Structure 1
Amino acid sequence: LLTTRMDNKSLSLNMQPEAVQDLIEEAVSHMTHLLNGHTLAVDPQNELWIVKVEASLMIQVFSNLIDNAVKYSPANSAIRISQERKDDHVLIHVIDQGQGISDAGKKNLFTMFYTAGSPRSDSRRGLGIGLSLCKTIVDAHGGQIYVEDNHPHGSVFTVSLPLMKEVTIDE
């Protein structure tokens, strides 16, 4: 429903200035109970990067990426979240140590109902909706989402969001 409403532009977003670090921390707090022995580290960030987003939707994106990293990574492996600035965007990377995704799989990964690879040993397999929804949400915020290889194994999912040019603080 959310994807349909975003696709046909009938969903209005309540976008507010948000600190990227706060969005990540909120997503992590929602996911810590689902880590199943994995370690999740968020690289420290000294800069305050502000993006204009609907916080609940962006937290959903980061939560989904963390959940997928847990689902498709070996037991007790490390998952890392890092951030960097590139021109007028902030890049948020969710890095796992899973089996990786084939080049053919990468082409369809953000398509509705597509699932790639085999899930963890507990047989949790998604419906192929999560990454499509993530893409729809990120696109609606003027950003991009993509996946690259994490050498020697695993994947790096990156969300690129435009930084706010000026931030004024209401008193």
Structure 2
Amino acid sequence: MEQSERTALLGGTFTPIHNGHRALLHKAFQTASHDGGGDGHVIVGLTSTPLATQTRSDPTHANMLGSFEERRENLDAELDRMDDAYTASYEIIQLEDTRGPAATREEIDALVVSPEAKAQRRAYELNQQRVDAGLGPLEIHTPPFVVAEDGSRISSTRIRNGEMDIHGRILE
């Protein structure tokens, strides 16, 4: 990649892919795509199955996520649908730990994170780790929550529980 290209990074399990995920993905493409030299690049870290099991508040929910390969295929199809609207390219990598490449790769410019307090705290801690390691801090970009019909945020857990669909429509 050219030095002038911007690289944005985000990560997650992305299952099922819902409108909240789409907002994060669009923010990553918007952040990486810019006027000037270079087209930009988006790195999407897809959580490995072992990491997904480790990071669930209820580890039994990991069984509901589907295989890594299936999640990767679905994510790739989603990214293919949206990347024509942007100049940035993308790649999907497997995340084996919660920090991923954001902690060590110098060429990353921005981290796209959910507005959830836990995600914001992790982004702050990650930037502190980068500074401690002699790397520059990342720009943090956060799209707003996407809300469901009932005014609460759309969440994968609520979708898997059958409370809403991927667009936030409340199910009976």
* Same fold by TM-score greater than 0.5: no
Larger helix percent: 2
Q: TM-score, normalised by structure 1?
A: 0.25
Higher relative contact order (CA 8 A, sep 6+): 2
Larger strand percent: 1
